[in-house]
Amino acid sequence: MTSGTTSIDKLITNTIREDVRNAGSYVVPDASGYIKLDAMENPYELPDELRAELGQRLADAALNRYPVASYTTLKQKICAGLGVPAGYDVLLGNGSDELISIMATAVAKQGGQRAVVMAPTPAFVMFARSAGFAGADYVGVPIKADFSLDLPAMLAAIQTHKPALVFLAYPNNPTGNLFDAEDMVAIIEALGETGIVVADEAYQPFAKKSFMGRLPEFPNLVVMRTLSKLGLAGIRLGYLSGDPKLLAEFEKVRPPYNVNVLTQVAAEFALDHLDVLDQQAEMLNAERTRLSTELAALPGVEVFPSAANFISLRVPDADQVCARLRDEKVLIKNLSKMDKLLANCIRVTVSTPEENTAFLTALKASL
């Protein structure tokens, strides 16, 4: 080991938090040359005439200026077009990842007993990562074998750990199913004034079910969504809504100018043409039905119900299947190492009819 390496190692040891040093990076595999079915993206682009119009709007954006810090126009379009209750506002983030981080930071305590962030597991990995990096403890409560909520276990964990923040993905990632709405209400009511419940509705365009309209019923409920799954993953925009007083506290943690000008312009444009994106979501839902049916007919394959734009399934050997699919230039997600409940499970994004057929062909050859 060189003296330079020794010096930097000592510097890192002396300055970087131990939990950060021990953590791995969030790795996104290179998908160049692959049929990309691993990240729940909408495969459809905007029609040519809309792309041309968007190009002009982006060309007119004032890149030499900071964004308008209030994001008033964009917020108004989100509230008007995406079902936010009257009298409620939204807080914007650089994707839902930043919103998760903002909420975890807001509830994390400094000194003394650490705050607890909780979620049913398996769950979106950023719930745990953001909690840890914010300085909170993360508690995962296993779901049942059929991927439904274990309500008694959740209520017992709430009583024991008294979480400040509970994430309930609706539908859940990586399993794809919708938790029972009454079970979620029971959790919201159990926390009451002691904790915040976040309904993560990233896949709402496909699920067609939401807690957004129920925000006035529950002061401790927050609904979080993203435009990524709707077809705008590249612009990185998430939003959340909840009681105005609660949003005001999260607003104190939000970095200034966290949504850039190009994202702002592109999102406003897309919301002016929400009907196009909704049509694409309907096309993907139809393909989800077809794909689920054809997958269920394959020997040795167990398909789980999905209300999202992806399907989770169990195969005889997930590692072997994923390796063979990669050889065929098809990229999916191997879930088998995430949780024991997901043994030999894989996740595939619902895509165009052509890409779905290519996946089916490659999967049949790999089994």
Q: What pLDDT digit, counting tens, does each position of 105-126 carry?
A: 999 998 888 999 999 999 999 9
Is residue 98 domain-shared with residue 207, that is, in the same domain?
A: yes
Mean pLDDT, range 304-330, rounded to an integer: 97
What is the rounded radius of gyration, in angstroms, for the C-alpha atoms of the chain?
21
Same domain, 130 and 228: yes
* Number of domains forming the structure of the chain: 2
Amino acid identity of residue 106, one-letter, is A
Which residue, among 257, 218, 219, 225, has the nearest Cα to 240 in the 3D structure? Answer: 225
Task: Name residue, tokens 């300055």.
Answer: 15
How is 195-242 classified by DSSP, letter by letter?
-EEEEE-TTHHHH---SGGGGGG-TTEEEEEESIIIIIGGG--EEEEE
pLDDT tens-digit readout, 323-358:
999 999 999 999 999 999 999 999 999 999 999 999
Span 301-324, average pLDDT: 98
**Cis preceding-peptide flag for 122 (omega within 30 of 0):** yes
Burial of 337 (0-12, 13-18, 19+ CB in 10 A): exposed
Using the predicted structure, report yes or no on whether residue 140 has a pLDDT greater than 60. yes
Shared-domain flag, residues 286 and 263: no
State how far the Cα of 175 lies from the Cα of 155, in Å rounded to an integer.
21
Residue 319 has pLDDT above 60, yes or no: yes
Q: Which distant-in-sequence residues (6+ apart) come within 8 Å of 160 by Cβ?
A: none
**Beta bridge partner(s), residue 120:** 141
Residues 39-81 pLDDT 10s:
999 999 999 999 999 999 999 999 999 998 899 999 999 999 9
Domain containing residue 360: CATH number: 3.90.1150.10
Q: Which residues contact 70 (CB under 8 A, 6 or more apart)?
A: none
pLDDT at 266: 96
With residue 137 as reference, give the H or E element that holds it: strand 137-142
Task: Report the amino acid identity of residue 192.
Answer: G
Q: Is 342 helix (H, G, I), strand (E, B) or coil?
A: helix
β-pair type (238-242, 221-226)? antiparallel
- DSSP-based three-state secondary structure for 113: coil
Q: Give the C-alpha separation, 43 to 283, whole Å.
A: 11
151 and 247, same domain (yes or no) = yes
pLDDT digits (tens, 9 = 90+) for 234-293: 999 999 999 999 999 999 999 999 999 999 999 999 999 999 999 999 999 999 999 999
Q: What is the mean pLDDT of residues 296-315?
A: 97
pLDDT value, residue 4: 56
Beta bridge partners of 265: none
Query: How does residue 22 score in pLDDT terms, banded at 50, 70 and 90?
Result: very high
Residue 320 and residue 298: Cα distance in Å, rounded?
Answer: 16
**pLDDT for position 1:** 46
| 38 shares its domain with 173 | no
The answer to whether the CB of 124 falls within 8 A of the CB of 40 is: no
Same domain, 97 and 191: yes
The answer to whether the beta carbons of residues 222 and 197 sit under 8 Å apart is yes
Alpha helices in the chain (DSSP H): 3-15, 18-22, 48-59, 72-81, 95-107, 125-134, 151-161, 181-191, 204-207, 244-251, 261-272, 274-296, 318-327, 353-366
CB–CB of 166/221 below 8 Å?
no
Higher-confidence residue: 145 or 31?
145
> Within this chain, do residues 147 and 160 fall inside the same structural domain, yes or no?
yes
Question: Six-digit token pair at 14?
Answer: 């002396």
Total Cβ atoms within 10 A of residue 290: 14
Question: 203 and 328: one domain?
Answer: no
Model pTM score: 0.94
Calculate the average pLDDT of the chain.
95
For the segment 202-231, the average pLDDT, to the nearest whole number, is 96
Q: Using CA atoms, how far apart are residues 4 and 195, in angstroms rounded to an integer?
A: 48
Q: Among 257, 272, 287, where does a domain finish?
A: 272
Over residues 295-312, mean pLDDT: 97
Decide: residue 224, CB within 10 A, 0-12 exposed, 13-18 middle, 19+ buried.
buried
Asked whether residue 172 is assigned to any structural domain, the reply reads yes
Q: Of 256, 272, 288, which marks where a domain is finished?
A: 272
Angstrom distance (rounded) from CA 347 to CA 248: 37
Residue 185: pLDDT band with limits 50, 70, 90: very high
**Shared domain check, 304 and 292:** yes
End residue of a domain, out of 214, 238, 272: 272
pLDDT grade for 27, boundaries at 50, 70 and 90: confident
Judgement on whether residues 267 and 287 belong to the same structural domain of the protein = no
Q: At what angle do helices 261-272 and 274-296 cross, to 10 degrees?
A: 80
Q: Are residues 152 and 102 in the same domain?
A: yes
Q: Which of 111, 171, 116 has its CA nearest to residue 350?
A: 171
Q: Which domain holds residue 320?
A: 26-46+275-366
Whole-number pLDDT of residue 351: 98
